[in-house]
Amino acid sequence: MRSKKSDNSYEWIWNFLPFKLFLIAIYLGLNISLNMLNKWTLSMYGFRFPIFMSLAHMAFTFVALAPLMATTSYRELHVTTIRKQWIGLIGIGTFFAVNVGFNNVSLLAISLSLNQVIRASIPVVTAVGSIFIEGKNPSRREFASLLVLVFGVCIAVYEGSGTHASLNGIVLCLLGTVSNGLMMSSIGRLMSEKLDVLRLAFYTAPITCIVLIPFYWKMEADQFVGYQTHHGAEYAGLLLIGCVNALAYNIVHSLVIKITSSVTTTVLGEMKIVLILVLSAMMLGEARIWTLKMLIGCTTAILGFCMYSHCRLAAGAQPWQPVIKGVPELAPSLSDSARSSLLAPKASRS
């Protein structure tokens, strides 16, 4: 009874427009800053260890959320949830490890702009996965918008694949995008219990780390030891900022889910793409890659992404909310059943 009264007493805050606008601004800022900080750290600063950086983000998230998850309201749910959901949690953690690992590695070779345009094609993978996993076919309008999206991405990718290094980066980014899309398509099947974003991040972070550790050991461990010998721990502060940024994004994102409608999240997803492209050109020096073909490809891809988002919205489907933030997403759409498996509040005690 007390918790219900407390929730009601704070209800006005969630409906207070200036608070909503403030929270949305923080949400956009953290999303964009995490994308740009990851790219700047890996490429311009010279800390070329994307898998280690991904491990640090996930480990920090787990440790930082542990005190919250140790409180009574959460603690009593852990055993039951893990016992029922362990297969789904392992599946999501593995998908996310592939997603975040390949995505961050790709930032070594391609621009953030191209990375974001490729990742805007996540709805295509999700739609294909939904056909085979959920048996749901896209409508004619959705299919047309996906064709526009694919056409734009293909133009941008073709124009951006001028070197062997960038071609490798494109392939890795595509693999990460496919993993993310498959996770979204199958999450409704994998998860039978409704979890909030923070609990899902807490449960899957250790699994993601376990999957990534062998790749770090094989691909980065020796070079990382050499880097630390020559540079010391001067990178630690920058890495910590990224970890705090990722955690703060998770927390703010969980609040934004509570206060925004499907229309708002759709518009936010579209705003993030445009803002990241503009800011990466201005602040990361990526304006030089913006050839006419690249501009046409990016504009076409964004148009297709917006068309698909609004088609899903008009059909009554809720846009997808990102799961865990080591890699901020662009809010591609997903079916209601998959979204509802993540967005319900944690179970209350009887």
HEC sequence for the chain: CHHHHHHHHCHHHHCCHHHHHHHHHHHHHHHHHHHHHHHHHHHHCCCCCHHHHHHHHHHHHHHHHHHHHCCHHHHHHHHHHHHHHHHHHHHHHHHHHHHHHHHHHHCCCCCHHHHHHHHCCHHHHHHHHHHHHCCCCCCHHHHHHHHHHHHHHHHHHHHHCCCHHHHHHHHHHHHHHHHHHHHHHHHHHHCCCCCCHHHHHHHHHHHHHHHHHHHHHHHCHHHHHHHHHHHCCCCHHHHHHHHHHHHHHHHHHHHHHHHCCHHHHHHHHHHHHHHHHHHHHHHCCHHHHCCHHHHHHHHHHHHHHHHHHHHHHHCCCCECCCCCCCCCCCCCECCHHHHHHHHCCCCCCC
Mean pLDDT along residues 287-294 = 81
**Digit-coded pLDDT (tens) for 72-92:** 888 888 888 888 888 888 988
**Digit-coded pLDDT (tens) for 330-344:** 443 333 334 444 444
* 0.85 exceeded by pTM: no
**Digit-coded pLDDT (tens) for 226-260:** 998 888 888 899 999 999 998 888 788 777 767 76
pLDDT beyond 80 at 264:
no
Question: What is the pLDDT confidence band of residue 58, given thresholds at 50, 70 and 90?
Answer: very high
Dihedral of the alpha carbons of 272, 276, 279, 283, in degrees to the nearest 10: 140
Report the mean per-residue pLDDT for the chain: 80
CB atoms within 10 A of CB 264: 14
- Torsion 277-280-283-285 (CA) sign: negative
**Digit-coded pLDDT (tens) for 4-57:** 444 455 566 666 678 888 888 898 899 899 989 999 999 889 899 999 999 999
Write the CA distances from 218 to 38, 55, 212, 214, 221, integer angstroms: 22, 14, 10, 6, 7
- The pLDDT, as a whole number, for residue 345 is 42
Which residues lie closer than 8 Å to 40 by C-beta, 6 or more apart?
284
- Torsion 107-108-113-115 (CA) sign: negative
- The pLDDT, as a whole number, for residue 188 is 67
| Nearest to 94, CA basis, from 215, 217, 207, 250 | 207
Question: What is the pLDDT confidence band of residue 203, given thresholds at 50, 70 and 90?
Answer: very high
**Do 123 and 178 form a contact (C-beta atoms < 8 A)?**
no
**Digit-coded pLDDT (tens) for 291-346:** 888 888 888 988 888 888 788 777 765 444 444 444 445 443 333 334 444 444 44
- The pLDDT, as a whole number, for residue 335 is 36
**Do 154 and 174 form a contact (C-beta atoms < 8 A)?**
no
Mean pLDDT along residues 267-295 = 81
